[in-house]
Amino acid sequence: MITLKQGSIVTVLFPYSNLSDSKQRPGLILSPEQYSSRTSELLVAQITSRNSLFRNQYGITNWAKAGLRKPSWVRYLALQHIHSSLIVDVLGEMPRDEYHQIVSLISQAIALQH
């Protein structure tokens, strides 16, 4: 049984945005353990090895410590709500300080402007 918790970096079958297919790639679990354990569902942000100036991305400083094979970026607005059965493996753990920075970027990006 794979232990899934907030801040874990996992390999997941991410569906394409048009839902025509899926691709195995790393992801960052954002949902709290209490939610995931009750529902078997997870909120996951995509992780990519391609840096893009035109996407909302956060460069992971400690990518090797987090269990990633190469420099990587979290696409903090490329979020997927998925079933835990789509998780293939647990790669590592996002350092807490970086996890909190990513959550802050998500919060800022989705905040309503009055």
Predicted confidence (pLDDT) per residue in 29-67, tens digit: 999 998 888 999 999 999 999 998 777 899 999 999 999
Give the 3-state secondary structure of residue 58: strand
Is the whole model's pTM more than 0.75, yes or no? yes
Domain range spanning residue 31?
A: 8-110
Residue 104 included in any domain: yes
Count of domains observed in the chain: 1
Express each pLDDT in 2-33 by its tens digit. Answer: 678 999 999 998 877 777 888 899 999 999 99
Residue 3 included in any domain: no
Cα–Cα distance list, 94 to 2, 21, 60, 109 (Å): 17, 27, 9, 20
Nearest-angstrom CA–CA distance, 70 and 52: 15
Residue 56 included in any domain: yes
Residue 49 included in any domain: yes
Domain CATH for 81: 2.30.30.110
